[in-house]
Chains A and B, each alone.
Chain A
Amino acid sequence: MKKLQNRLSNLVGIRMGIWGFSLLCSLASVQAHPTIFKGGFVFDNLNQSDKNEAAAHYSILPTLSLGVHGLRQNLDGKNLYSVTSYTGLLLKRWNEKNFQANTYIYGGVGFARYQQKSKPAFYAGAQADIENRQWLLMGKFETMQFKKFEDLYTYMGRLGFAPYQANYEELQGWMILEYDFQPFRQKAHEVSAIARFFYRSFLIEAGSSFRGDLKLNLMFHY
């Protein structure tokens, strides 16, 4: 049984390595919509110098999404890889004439590999956001727990402003100020300026922290 577990762990580790390198780019969180419309598929990818994160999930209900989540996080010069399941739950949505507000929880279980060892991993987060066509405010907390590895915690806040109001089929731009607090990093506090553009089902975010750490986020809905 233990042999099988080790083999499985090694296999997961190898696959995680391939996945991590193939993404090229670095723990902040995927700026996902934890759930979308019923029958909708989301691919979400976040890249920073010390981290890559990706999630793919399918909304079986507008309030419930299922999928997978992967992460590469550089810790003290060594990469930690994890693959977990993904479940997103919309707790409550307020749809009003001029704004929408949401509260979500999400998470999953899986494996993590770090310093040649594989361990079970648990991923969980909570998110609240409110936006109208000109302003957006978002707060989020995430944690990744590993048996015997360092647990990762991320706190994130975002304030966004749309300089113009594009209609449905036009290119929309946003300017976003993001604050991250990640106690496991040497420089735990980070403020970033991000430009977000979306057109139809494609979203791209590009920016940099004030320390010069580049960020590139991509999202696709289908």
Chain B
Amino acid sequence: MKLKTLLTSLILTLAFPMASFAKEITLVVKGMTCAFCAQGIEKKFKRKEAVKDIKVDLDTGKVLISFKDKADIGDEELQKMIKDSGYTLEKIER
């Protein structure tokens, strides 16, 4: 019984870091005052294969991005995507 519990615990402990969790990051964006104009951010990110979902919050000036499986987008590319959308990326919260 003890051995069975031990084995189960071991398997779970080893499996936990290998589990695929959708990663989320938050972008703090400057200049995002108008929902009509901020549509560009959503459109640009939704075209990316790595992106599962995106939520824009004008109240906080933040953009929450969920990635598929273990996918990710590098800081430099995030910076470029926000710039191409017409805004300024202030901070990336990972």
Kindly supply a per-residue 1/0 record for chain A positions 165-209, scoring 1 wherever the CB is within 8 Å of any chain B CB and 0 otherwise: 111111010000000000000000000000000101101000000
Q: In this assembly, does A95 line the interface, its C-beta being within 8 Å of a C-beta of chain B? A: yes
Residue with the greatest number of chain A CB neighbours at <10 A, chosen from B41, B43, B57, B61:
B43
Given A97-B30, A168-B56, do A62 and B36 touch, yes or no (CB 8 Å)? Answer: no
Report the contact-size class of chain A (Cβ under 8 Å from the partner).
20 to 34
Provide the bound-state CA to CA distance between A203 and B31, in Å. 20
- Among A35, A167, A170, A203, which residue has the most Cβ atoms of chain B within 10 A? A167
B35→A62 contact, CB < 8 A: no
Main secondary structure of the interface of B (DSSP, over half): mixed
Is B59 an interface residue, CB under 8 A from the partner? yes
Q: What 6 pairs between A and B have smallest CB-CB spacing?
A: A95-B31, A37-B40, A38-B84, A95-B88, A100-B31, A168-B56
**Contact A33 B37, CB 8 Å, known A38-B84, A167-B57, A168-B58:** yes
Q: Which of A36, A40, A131 contacts B33 (CB 8 A)?
A: A131
A116 at interface, CB cutoff 8 A:
no
Query: A132 at the A/B interface (Cβ < 8 Å)?
Result: yes
A133: contacting residue among B33, B39, B40, B84, CB under 8 A: B33
